[in-house]
Amino acid sequence: MQLFSWGKKSDQTVQIKEIITNISSSTIDILHKGEKVTIEIPFIDEASVQNAIHCLCVLFILKKNNEEILHRFQSLYSIAMRLEMKEGINHCSIINDSYSNDLYSLGIALDFLNQQKQHKRRTLILSDILQSGMEPKKLYSQVSALLLQKNVDRLFGIGPDIFSQQKQFSSIKNNSFFKTTEEFLRNVFLSDLSDETILIKGARSFEFERISHLLEQKVHQTVLSINLNSIVYNLKKYKEQLEPQTKIMAMVKAFSYGSGSYEIASVLEFNKVDYLAVAYPDEGVELRKAGITLPIMVMNIDNSTFDSILNYNLEPEIFSFALLNDFTSFLKKSEIDDYPVHIKIDTGMHRLGFMENEIDLLCKKISGNQFIKVKSIFSHLAASEDPKQDDFTSYQFSLFKSCCSKIEKSLGYSFLKHIANTSGISRHPRLQMDMVRLGIGLYGIDGNVHMQKLLKNVSTLTTTISQIKKISAGETVGYGRMGKVEKDSTVAVVRIGYADGYSRTLGNGKGKMLLKNKLVPVIGNVCMDMTMLDVSAIKNLKEGDEVIVFGEALTLQMLSSWAQTIPYEIMTGISARVKRIYYEE
Ligand SMILES: *Cc1c(COP(=O)(O)O)cnc(C)c1O
């Protein structure tokens, strides 16, 4: 047997000397039979790098010539292998997974469909499953069982095989079958599809992009793409920082820090966080309407929203005596006992909450109050990210503990206690208590450098070039003629402006965007709907080319430092007209 191995050690057939990660490519230096070889691949993720090295080994075994090998690696490109969710026509949500179709990937896509609760009906458009190596009869009986198990309500089957096996799908009441994609397009009225979640799942040769094209709402060319796998990954990384029994409350306020509402909440629910928290009642109502069943804490309520709090089973934060009195009277009038509430203590943030000197009166008011049930007591750290403030953080923690024990004694029952936010978790593991409130970390940002390295990027904001033009030395660009060029230059106009959340402070060279892997500066003032870039340094541009505003390589931290703000503000400031696309890889 011929053994062929690769690895970092010198006794491997192919020895990896170094892997250098560039902005969007990797350079791999290797030693094979005493010869140095360098390959460059247009990927940076670990899996792709490993795959490439495996392929390289095979090429060595097949004795392919080195030049040919290098050339071929360079011409690799990444293919869209992801499952995307977009807004569709007629209030539908469209899940597009028309890149492949086999039993295994169908199972994954159906799980994703099944998690979606924003519409009552779940619809599947499915092509023949090719090359399964199974008899059609056996194959489609398995498919049929799978659809039943994953709660598919309506099926469109497309292809000769599924057409011939349609009897097997009688358990799904609403079904119809077509021999070709063409036939489906001719016979199904798009207006028949409304207010449902539609999974489009087909083998390449069925060209289901023709269907998804019709069903997806046309997007304005500036898009925020949200990688749902990365959210799950980041959640797991924080779980690993915690004791196994510590609960997690996921903060999904402000449209999940700008990234979405039920789309994010349903992923978190599926991945078993313990609680969700929103800022205002409306945000909680939206989650309930989309079928989210996790307990939801609402941090900022007032008398006018008591009704929806009760109707939608939301759990309010009580932060003042006025609110406690009013909410108690409301519960009394509604004849409700033991309504779950969360009490906020102000230990130094001086935002909402009961102060230390109010705790005795608070104890008096809530012990024996049959109308409420205290689910948790919490406080918020003012500077958990800052080492210089660690003494203050410890002070807040000990004050919180003493308030809790007072209240616990007087109340006679116990409740969850929590104080740590994202940097609380990553910088102060001893403050995790019964639960932590994980916010920005879920979305891939942590001020702690060590933790930041463990996280994956979640959001990528991209836009496109609408026009490219040449201007001469001495001419100016934009309002106020602020962008003056010293030499002949090329300017690209991109489809994003301050109305989309691209701050005006990024004008005149402060901000940069990533174009063909190079940073290019903003020239002149940022306009409401557009921004101009000086692209003189880049060749072969064309209108329609994609530009990255932030993402993996050009990070939110870089952008927020240019704009002299914090990632939180940039994330939550991406305006509603920027379409969100959710995907799983
Ligand atoms: C927003 C918020 C959090 C989460 O903070 P991050 O820094 O994003 O983790 C936690 N607790 C309260 C009360 C909040 O308002």
Any idea which of 7-11, 178-182, 340-344, 399-403 has the lowest mean pLDDT? 7-11
* Ligand 1 atom closest to 437 (CA): 10
* Residue (of 73, 52, 53) closest to 13 by Cα position: 53
Q: Give the Cα separation of 72 and 52 in Å (integer).
A: 11
**Looking at 454, 469, 488, which one is the last position of a domain?**
454
Ligand 1 centroid to 337 CA: how many Å?
29
Percentage of the chain modeled with pLDDT above 90: 78
* Residue (of 265, 262, 164, 153) closest to 198 by Cα position: 153
Q: Do residues 449 and 469 both lie within one domain?
A: no
Give the distance, in angstroms, between the CA of residue 507 and the centroid of all CA atoms in the same chain.
28
Domain that holds residue 483: 459-584
Q: Do residues 202 and 244 both lie within one domain?
A: no
Q: Do residues 575 and 480 both lie within one domain?
A: yes
Q: Which helix (H) or strand (E) holds 435?
A: strand 435-438
Residue 585: the pLDDT is 76
Q: Do residues 213 and 230 both lie within one domain?
A: no
Q: Do residues 262 and 347 both lie within one domain?
A: yes
Any idea which of 77-86, 124-133, 486-495 has the lowest mean pLDDT? 77-86
SS3 379: strand
Beta bridge partners of 518: 515
What is the DSSP code string of 138-203?
A: HHHHHHHHHHHHTT--EEEEESHHHHHTGGGGTTSSEEEEESSHHHHHHH--GGG--SEEEEEE--
Tokens, residue 36: 């140095």
**Mean per-residue pLDDT for 249-271?**
95
Q: Are 143 and 171 in contact (CB under 8 A)?
A: no
Q: Give the Cα separation of 106 and 129 in Å (integer).
A: 9
Residue 67: which CATH number?
3.30.160
Residue 216 binned pLDDT confidence (cut-offs 50, 70, 90): confident
Pocket, ligand 1, Cβ cutoff 6 A: 251, 253, 380, 421-422, 437-441
Residue 567: which CATH number?
2.40.37.10
* Ligand 1 atom closest to 438 (CA): 9
Q: Based on C-alpha coordinates, what's the Rg of the chain? A: 28
Whether residue 578 is contained in a domain is answered as yes
Residue 568 binned pLDDT confidence (cut-offs 50, 70, 90): very high
Residue 365 binned pLDDT confidence (cut-offs 50, 70, 90): very high
Residue 80: the pLDDT is 56
Q: Do residues 410 and 429 both lie within one domain?
A: yes
Whether residue 1 is contained in a domain is answered as no
* Residue (of 115, 88, 84) closest to 97 by Cα position: 84
Ligand 1 centroid to 439 CA: how many Å?
5
* Ligand 1 atom closest to 380 (CA): 13
Whether residue 165 is contained in a domain is answered as yes
Substitution candidate for ligand 1 out of 249, 342, 437, 566 with most atoms within 8 A of CB: 437
Residue 426 binned pLDDT confidence (cut-offs 50, 70, 90): very high
Residue with the smallest CA separation from ligand 1 atom 13 is 380
Residue 305: the pLDDT is 95
* Residue 359, pLDDT above cutoff 90: yes
**Looking at 29, 55, 75, which one is the last position of a domain?**
75
Whether residue 138 is contained in a domain is answered as yes
Q: Do residues 505 and 537 both lie within one domain?
A: yes
Substitution candidate for ligand 1 out of 241, 251, 283 with most atoms within 8 A of CB: 251
Ligand 1 centroid to 438 CA: how many Å?
7
Ligand 1 centroid to 422 CA: how many Å?
7
Q: Do residues 361 and 392 both lie within one domain?
A: yes
Q: Are 582 and 85 in contact (CB under 8 A)?
A: yes
Active site residues: 253, 479
3-state helix, strand, coil in the chain (%, to 5): 40, 25, 35
What is the DSSP code string of 522-549?
A: B-S---SS-EEEE-TT--S--TT-EEEE
73-109: pLDDT as tens digits: 877 766 556 788 888 988 999 998 877 788 888 998 9
pTM for this prediction? 0.77
Residue 74: the pLDDT is 79
Residue with the smallest CA separation from ligand 1 atom 12 is 380
**């539908």: which residue's tokens?**
92
Q: What is the identity of the amino acid at 143? A: V
Give residues with Cβ within 8 angstroms of 58, minimum separation 6: none
Tokens, residue 563: 């704009």
Ligand 1 centroid to 421 CA: how many Å?
5
Whether residue 68 is contained in a domain is answered as yes
Q: Do residues 287 and 419 both lie within one domain?
A: yes
**Mean per-residue pLDDT for 176-196?**
91
Give residues with Cβ within 8 angstroms of 512, minimum separation 6: 519, 520, 521, 522, 554, 562
**Mean per-residue pLDDT for 461-490?**
96
525-561: pLDDT as tens digits: 999 999 999 999 999 899 989 999 999 999 999 999 9
42-83: pLDDT as tens digits: 887 788 889 999 999 999 999 888 888 888 887 776 655 678
Q: What is the identity of the amino acid at 336? A: I
**Mean per-residue pLDDT for 247-266?**
95
Whether residue 19 is contained in a domain is answered as yes
**Angle CA 383–389–392, to nearest 5:** 90
Q: Are 278 and 309 in contact (CB under 8 A)?
A: no
* Ligand 1 atom closest to 257 (CA): 8
* Residue 342, pLDDT above cutoff 60: yes
Residue with the smallest CA separation from ligand 1 atom 6 is 439
Substitution candidate for ligand 1 out of 283, 380, 435, 458 with most atoms within 8 A of CB: 380
| Top-confidence residue, 66 or 168 | 168
Q: Do residues 517 and 379 both lie within one domain?
A: no
**Looking at 437, 454, 471, which one is the last position of a domain?**
454
User: How many angstroms separate the Cα of 190 from the Cα of each of 90, 123, 200, 215, 455?
Assistant: 9, 13, 14, 8, 41
Q: Do residues 91 and 60 both lie within one domain?
A: no
Ligand 1 centroid to 567 CA: how many Å?
13
Give residues with Cβ within 8 angstroms of 67, minimum separation 6: none
**243, exposed or middle or buried, with CB in 10 Å at 0-12, 13-18, 19+?**
exposed
Ligand 1 centroid to 419 CA: how many Å?
9
If one counts the domains in the chain, the total is 4
Residue with the smallest CA separation from ligand 1 atom 4 is 439
Q: Do residues 255 and 359 both lie within one domain?
A: yes
Residue 398: which CATH number?
3.20.20.10
* Residue 141, pLDDT above cutoff 90: yes
Q: Give the Cα separation of 557 and 227 in Å (integer).
A: 18
* Ligand 1 atom closest to 568 (CA): 8
The residue count for the chain: 585
Tokens, residue 113: 């469909």
Q: Are 509 and 522 in contact (CB under 8 A)?
A: yes
Whether residue 289 is contained in a domain is answered as yes
* Ligand 1 atom closest to 425 (CA): 9
